[in-house]
Chain A
C-alpha cells in the first residue's frame, strides 16, 4: 500500500533560517502520527507544507503516491484544523461546516444532510444557527473538526488543536479525537509540543528538533529507547549522564540517560552516596533531586518507599539497574 503522505528530502528556508532541514517521512494510511517538538523546531512548517500553505524550498511532497509539490492547497485532498480554529466569523456554525461542500458544488440537499451529520458527530447538532463568537472554546474546536471532517478527507492535519483549551477539556478532547480517528479511519497528522499528548494519542511520534526528525517510532519506543539526548530530555524526564559523571557512574565514556522512575533512593546498601537537594511533591508522585558526591545530579521519581519520606539535606544512596541505563547516540 502506498503511504498516505510521503515527504522526500523536504527543506524550507525563510531567508537565511532553515525551518525544515531535509525531512524524509512516510505516513501510513489510517495512522495517527504526531509531530512533536519545541516551538521553532519545524513541526508546524512541515504540516503547512503538507497542507500546501507553504512551498518547500527543496524536496517533494506526495499524497497517496502522487506528487503534489506544486499543487495548490485548494486542490489537495487534505483538511486542516487550525490552532486558532480559523472559523469564518460572518457565517453560522452550519455555514462554516457546509463551506467545503459548497465551494465544491455539492447540491444543497446533500450539503444540508452531511452538515447535520457532521454536527451531530461532534455533538453540536443544536448549535448550527449560532455564530462562532457565541460558542465556547471547546465548541469552536468541535466546529473546526466538523468543518474538516465533513469533506471526508483522506488526511486530517491538526495544528496544536487543543492548545487553547484548559487542561480538563483538553483531556476530554484527546479521548474524543482518538475515538473520531478510530471511527473515521483516516490518517491523522497531529502537531503538538505536549509530550504527554503525543505519548497518549499517537501510533507513532516523530520528534522534531531544529528542522530535523531526531527519532520516529511508536510512543513506547520513543520513550523507552530515546535515540538522542534531545529526545531523552524532551519526551519525558531524563537524567543525562555525560563526561565525568558518566565515567564514574556508568563506567565508560558516552552519553547516557536514566528515567527518574528507575532511580532508587535508599538509606544504605549498594549505590552512590548522595545528598537530597530538592523535593517536589506532585500529588501522585514526588521528584527528589539528589547530588551525587563528586558531581552529577539525578532525579528520582515515584510515590512509595524512601521517596515519600526523605527530607532535604539527608544523606542517601541512589542506585539503578544496568538495564535502565539508556545509551544515546550523538546529538544531531
Chain B
C-alpha cells in the first residue's frame, strides 16, 4: 500500500509513541534497580550494584523465588503432559462430547483469574484440602494446560495424517512411528508450550492469591507485599527486573519455536 509522506511520518511517530509508553516504564524499573537511593524518585541519585549483590540475602525474596520456580516447574510439567495428551485425543479421535471438552479445556485462559481463584479456593476449603504448594500448582495448571494444548494441537493440525500412515505402511510399529515421526515433528511445539506455561505461572498473581495458604508466597506476591516497604523497595526493583529478564527471552524463544519447523 502506498501512503502519503505525512501519513507515513504520523504512523511512524504513533508507533514509536505506543512502543515507548509500553517499554519506557520497564526501562525505568531496570535503571532504578541500580539507584543508590532507597526511593523510586527520579532522577536516580547514584549508581550501585549493592541491591543486585545482596537481594538473595533477603530471606523472604529467596523463599519466594524458590517457591515460584517450584510451582512454575510442576505446573508446567503437569500442563505439558495433560495438554499434549488432550491434543492427541482431540486431534485424532472422534468421541461423544468432543466439542464441549475442547471448549472447556480452552476456557480457563479466558476466565477472569479472580473467578477461577475464588472457585478453586472455595472447593479446596470445602473438601478440606490444605492451601499451599499443591493448591497453587493445581490453580496454575488450569490455564497452563491451555497454552500447552494450543501449541501442540496447532502443530498436529499442520502434520498430514498421511505421515503416520506412510510410516505404518513402511513397517513401523505405532511406537516407532511416534518416536521417529510424530515426536520429532511436535517436539518444538511441546517445548514452546512448556516455556509459555512456565512463564505464565511464574508471574501469576490473582489465582495465586486465592489458592496460596499463609505459608506460600510467590515472587509476584512478594513484590506486591513489599512495594510499600521503603527498606526493601530497592530489592523490589531488582526482583521485578529479574522477572523481566527471565520472561523476555522466554517469550522470544517460545515464538521462535512455535514458528519453527513449519513443514
Contacts and interface: CB of A to CB of B under 8 A. Distances in A.
Instruction: Give the most central of A52, A75, A100, A151: most B CB within 10 Å.
Output: A100
Nearest to A76: B169
B165 A73 contact: yes
A133 interface: yes
Contacts of A90: 184-185, 261
A230 B188 CA distance: 51
A61 to B, nearest CB: 15
Interface string B54-83: 000000000000000000000000000000
A208 B230 CA distance: 84
Contact of A100 (B163, B170, B177): B170
A104 B176 CA distance: 10
Interface residues of B, number: 21
A204 interface: no
B186 to A, nearest CB: 11
A146 B84 CA distance: 34
Interface in B144-198: 160, 162-163, 165-174, 176-177, 180-181, 184-185
A133 B163 CA distance: 15
Contact of B170 (A84, A89, A99): A99
B180 A51 contact: no
B172 A103 contact: yes
B263 A89 contact: yes
A79 B162 CA distance: 13
Nearest to A89: B263
A247 interface: no
B160 A84 contact: yes
Contacts of B174: 74
Given A73-B168, A74-B173, A89-B263, A99 B180 contact: yes
B185 A103 contact: no
A86 interface: yes
A1 to B, nearest CB: 25
Nearest to B261: A90
A151 B170 CA distance: 8
* Top-4 shortest CB links A-B: A100-B170, A86-B162, A86-B166, A103-B172
11 contacts: A51-B165, A72-B168, A73-B169, A74-B169, A75-B171, A82-B162, A82-B166, A88-B163, A89-B261, A103-B167, A151-B170
